[in-house]
A and B are shown apart, each in its own frame.
Chain A
Amino acid sequence: MILILIKLLILPLLSPLCIGIIRKIDAFMQNRRGASVIQPYFDLWKLFHKDEVISPDASWIFRATPYIIFAISLMLPLGIPLLSQVESWGFFSDFLVVVYLLALMTFFLALAGIDTGSMFGGFGASREMTLSALTEAVLVFSLLPIAIISQTSNLILMATTTSSLPPITYFPIFIAFIGFFIALMAETGRIPFDNPSTHLELTMIHEAMIIEYSGKRLALIEWTAANKFLFFVLLGANIFFPYGLSTTTNLLDLLIAVGVVAMKALLLIGAIGIIESSIAKYRLFRLPDLLLTGLILGIISLIATNI
């Protein structure tokens, strides 16, 4: 019970912090001092207390989307292994369910982008759907090798099996992880796919789609994006590197697990920050090449599971 509560609360409570950390890393790489790591919390608080402007053409899709996608993002972590291997949440743990819930969020967000009748929103939606159409396959095929190795599509059982494998069999999982990392960068809109802090309308993808949002709805959208980022980090850290997960529900074991998982997540966030600071954004028509590379890595990993 307490574990479920932690799972429900960890995303909304810690996701702004993650965004703060990654911004700090970006600033460090650019020789700036940067804002404090808790600045995103203040930003959200500020946005919640602003009035909002809504396009006269917008329908209920535009108004409801922030609530819909935020609610879905809260449900995402229920199925993934967070601290221990003994948590089970049945149907929510299926990795296809997780992938499809993510797709549902993108679906509504893209509709909201078109809904305002703004050309930026429309083109943002077009680009976002183009990328997510390709990313979905990469995500499925980067998680699939582990599902095949562990003979289950349940994420928690997948983590349990991978943690008990001998290190020699770890090679395909690592290849799959590179594919997953590419999908992560695409889904969470990091460089080289998208620039979360861009101010030029023509280069924006995610930011163009949500350009008409303001006030509390913008706050929800930003918060959802942060939730999604943290979710991907936790998924990557606990499925591909499932070490340190507690095997019991003892308080002590769980506390150790908290420390280990936090370390893994921080390492992954650091890696993301350093990589995105050291490469340039790709041209839109070069992104499919990168995504297909991710897919091929997934397939190589699938074939390597035989050996």
Chain B
Amino acid sequence: MELLFPIAIEIFCISAVLSFILQKVKSVSHFTSSGLSLIGSAFMLVFAGYILLTHTVINVVLPTSFPLFTLSFHVDGLAAFFIFVIALIALPATLYGISYLKPYYTQYNTGVFGFFYNLFLLSLFLVVTSYNGLYFLFVWELMSLSSFFLVIFEQNHPSTIKAGFIYFVMTHVATGCISFAFILLYLATGSFDFSVIKSHAELIPMTIKSIAIICFIVGFGTKAGIIPFHIWLPKAHSAAPSHVSALMSGVMIKMGIFMFFRMFLDVLTPTPWLGFTILFLGALSSILGVLYALSEHDSKRLLAYHSIENIGIILLGLGGGLVFLTLNYPAFAIISIIAGLYHTINHAIFKSLLFLSAGSVISQTHTRNIEEYGGLIKKMPYTALFFLIGAIAITGLPPFNGFVSEWLTFQGLFKGIAFEGMLIKAAFIFAGVCLAFTGGLAAACFVKAFGITFLARPRSVESQHAKESSFPMVLSMGFLAALCLVFSIGAPYVIAQLRVLVQALGSFTRHTSAMVPAHEKLTDLAALNFNTMGLLLGFTISAAVVYALVYLVSHRQKTVIGSIWECGYTEITPRMEITATGFSRTLILIFKGIFRPTKQVHVEYVDADMRYAPTKTVTLGISDIYENNMYYPLVKLFHRISIQVKKIQSGNINAYLLYIFLTLIGLLLVARYYL
């Protein structure tokens, strides 16, 4: 069983190479590489399932000829859980890609795409199993670069290149922070190996640990897309092909979350302020993410902002857990951390489902602007049904999986609110208020997204002529929709498995003896008899009875298809429907302190003498406060510094030789006196 992992790794490598070699024959290369990645992902899924069920820990260290750089693989429960998540999403996404990419054969090189796609999957699996800082940075960079090439796949659009560029810059700033943190840890412990750092965790000086943790938050937080490091995320996710967006949003941003779990709960010991910081960042990301999603009418950018929201919810679980850990309430911490992990897998499932359904709509209508959709539920019934399931799940409504993890997250926060200390209570009340608003606003946002896309009348010619997507695409969406239900009904089992996994993490094994028995009064884990099945059963019975009774009473009455009431107008056009902008404008105006809504009115007086009223165009939007207030000043600063630096860049080779000479002398002096 353990051999499945290296075999799958080799399959991905072979698949990448084959796809590259066969790129001249696009269909063959695409089919081969997709087929092989399906097999590889299936192997990984079985492998992860085996590790999770048998609770084995695999640790393989392969030394290389470079000092400090060892290929060290470590598969424990946490890594296996994330392998499971990656493989679970990679399967339907790859299947979907087989037919989604067909229209691209004529324009783009799908062979190279297949190469990077397999490399991307490979790097994801390697990131979660790596256990050495330098090797980790290597595979992390592999993941960033391969995903960058996937983002700029549709290179003929200028906006795609711009999105790719911002992603490229942001991800490398993040990698810079992470490298710095690892170097600090190396200086403190003398090793890049996670196992060595872990055993020395309590000996690391407080200041070094604090700086390293801040760097980790910035670095991994950028990858996870927490606010305010999120600006690359909506751009990159909307530019990539839809099944890549599903993988990026469902899985890749979770790598940042994975490293949060790995570093803060397993390798390092949390500092007292860490939990509160994460809790605060989570609360901020969740509420702001959903608010920005509300203002979007690009279907994939909307979903991307919801990823930010859900990363926030995951962080609420993690942050709560860290606070409880530092307060020495391990039993409470377990509930919160389980909530975070559970939301990780749930979000992976429903977010990739939503991206795939959005992609299915885009492949038919050739636009991402939801104002041009409408009425698609009749043209694409399966896509509509699956999108609806995803929407209910992400909103956290019963009976789907989002409900379970949101409920658990709430339970964790409630335990914090029950504390006596005012600071802790206030922090958790703030987080709870944010989470409660997030749930409600997400519902509003998805009523908008589903309603404007699939209901009422088509608002463009493309939407009128849309057809249901091909079978592989429907199948992969259906698979994910079924998972939404499975992970809700199977909640007690999943929670029990996650509990074993969490208890094996470093923070819990470290002080088993010093643990204070926690007061597990407020719904202990044994009482979490999640009964979604009962809920569904009750609903089915009650709906059936209602239907039968209504039929009994009024089956003789006729149902007529007739026009709607619009104050006497008879010609109803699609322009009379509510738009996505109109739908969310009330909420945007309510939260105008956060949004800074903009309104531009253009009046055209082209034929003003002929008409009574001139043509008016009103553009409603919101201003991007992060780019305007945080990133543009930074860019300007760099620009100014660059102009100063230009002065010493004369272009004269002699001058550069002088610089090299001076640097050498300087280094020698440093080496002489300080080392």
Contact = CB atoms under 8 A, between A and B. Distances in A.
Contact of A74 (B456, B530, B542, B583): B542
Contacts of B559: 51-54, 215
Interface in B515-571: 521-523, 529-531, 534-535, 538-539, 542-543, 546-547, 550, 553-554, 557-567
A234 interface: no
A101 B414 CA distance: 20
Contact of B433 (A49, A54, A201, A299): A299
Interface stretch (A92-100, A189-197, A251-259, A268-276): A92-100
Contact of A56 (B395, B563, B582): B563
Given A55-B564, A61-B377, A96-B407, A126 B456 contact: no
A216 B456 contact: no
A111 B583 CA distance: 12
Nearest to A97: B398
B84 interface: no
Given A51-B558, A91-B530, A107-B395, A299 B403 contact: no
Contacts of A302: 417, 425, 429
Interface in A118-168: 118-123, 125-127, 129-130, 132-137, 140-141, 144, 147-148, 151-154
Contact of B557 (A52, A68, A212): A52
Given A53-B560, A137-B440, A118 B586 contact: no
Interface stretch (B241-249, B251-259, B572-580): B572-580
B455 interface: yes
Interface in B18-69: none
B450 interface: yes
Contact of A285 (B397, B446, B523, B590): B590
Interface in A50-104: 50-57, 59-61, 67-68, 70-72, 74-75, 78, 90-92, 94, 96-97, 100-101, 103-104
Contacts of B443: 103, 106-107, 129, 132-133, 136
A116 interface: yes
A140 B563 CA distance: 40
B439 interface: yes
A59 B451 contact: no
A118 B566 contact: yes
Contact of A57 (B375, B437, B583, B587): B375
A133 B441 contact: yes
A211 interface: yes
Given A96-B407, A220-B550, A54 B417 contact: no
Contacts of B574: 117
B550 A114 contact: no
A110 to B, nearest CB: 5
B395 A118 contact: no
A117 B457 CA distance: 6
Given A125-B447, A212-B564, A67 B578 contact: no
Contacts of A122: 451, 456, 577-578, 582-583
A172 to B, nearest CB: 13
A115 B411 CA distance: 35
Given A61-B455, A104-B397, A302-B429, A116 B564 contact: yes
Nearest to B540: A71
Nearest to A129: B444
Nearest to A149: B418
Given A49-B557, A111-B455, A59 B538 contact: no
B358 interface: no
A141 B440 contact: no
Nearest to B428: A302
B589 interface: yes
A67 B414 contact: no
A111 to B, nearest CB: 6
Contact of A136 (B439, B454, B538): B439
Interface string A274-307: 0000000000110010000001000100110010
Contact of A100 (B403, B455, B566): B403
B114 interface: no
Contacts of A74: 542, 546
B447 A110 contact: yes
A153 B447 CA distance: 28
A115 B577 CA distance: 10
Contacts of A241: none
A48 interface: yes
B321 interface: no
B313 interface: no
Interface in B448-462: 448, 450-452, 454-457
A104 B398 contact: yes
A49 to B, nearest CB: 6
Given A104-B392, A126-B578, A48 B554 contact: yes
Contacts of B578: 114, 119, 121-123, 125-126
Given A100-B398, A117-B577, A126 B586 contact: yes
Contacts of B567: 201
A290 B195 CA distance: 55
A126 B452 CA distance: 11
Contacts of B441: 133
B82 interface: no
B210 to A, nearest CB: 31
B607 interface: no
B436 A136 contact: yes
A206 B585 CA distance: 18
B407 to A, nearest CB: 6
A53 B558 CA distance: 9
Contacts of B521: 151-152
A90 B375 CA distance: 41
Contacts of A133: 437, 440-441, 443-444, 587
Contact of A70 (B546, B576, B589): B546
Contact of A130 (B450, B522, B587): B587
Nearest to B458: A57
Contact of B396 (A75, A100, A126, A132): A100
B410 interface: yes
Contacts of B436: 136-137, 140-141
- Nearest 10 interchain pairs by C-beta: A122-B578, A133-B440, A114-B451, A137-B436, A117-B456, A136-B440, A71-B543, A129-B444, A91-B531, A71-B542
27 contacts: A48-B553, A51-B557, A51-B559, A52-B559, A54-B560, A56-B563, A60-B377, A71-B543, A75-B538, A91-B529, A91-B530, A106-B443, A107-B397, A110-B451, A114-B447, A117-B577, A118-B565, A118-B566, A122-B582, A123-B578, A125-B447, A129-B583, A130-B444, A133-B440, A133-B441, A144-B432, A285-B589
Interface of A: 48-57, 59-61, 67-68, 70-72, 74-75, 78, 90-92, 94, 96-97, 100-101, 103-104, 106-107, 110-111, 114-123, 125-127, 129-130, 132-137, 140-141, 144, 147-148, 151-154, 201, 211-212, 215-216, 220, 284-285, 288, 295, 299, 302-303, 306
Given A107-B447, A114-B455, A133-B443, 6 more contacts: A67-B543, A71-B542, A100-B403, A115-B455, A153-B414, A215-B554
Interface of B: 375, 377-378, 392, 395-398, 403, 407, 410-411, 414, 417-418, 420, 422, 425, 429, 432-433, 436-437, 439-441, 443-444, 446-448, 450-452, 454-457, 521-523, 529-531, 534-535, 538-539, 542-543, 546-547, 550, 553-554, 557-567, 572, 574, 576-578, 582-587, 589-590
